[in-house]
Amino acid sequence: MKAAALTVLTAGIVLFAPAFAQAQAPSSPIPNINPTPDQMCDNTQQIVNTVRAKQPNATPDQIATTYDQMMGQRLPVIYGAFQGQQHQQLLELIHACGIK
């Protein structure tokens, strides 16, 4: 079920998310453009962990909103063009991955 749900979602939000959200350099200069469902869930979990480090009781919607703000500050022009879509995709990934 997880794989089926995740294949419907685009991977744009999780390709660069952990590197920007945690301000760390990616381990590879080229991101994986075809992440597996497990990789997508791992990246989504990293986003959730980053937000919950600051807001321990954040709901999925609060996590997506906080992530939007973080990414908007780091990549205002690029992220701003896709913010609404990315917000919804993050919510869907949190749900599809079973992250609480």
Instruction: State the pLDDT confidence band at 31, using cuts at 50, 70 and 90.
Output: low
The full set of domain ranges for the chain reads 2-20+36-96
For residue 45, is pLDDT > 90?
yes
Q: Which two tokens stand for residue 67?
A: 């992530």
What's the mean pLDDT when you consider all of the chain? 77
CA 22 → CA 5, 7, 43, distances in Å?
26, 25, 11
Q: What confidence category does residue 28 fall into, taking pLDDT thresholds of 50, 70 and 90? A: low
Tokens linked to 3? 């794989």
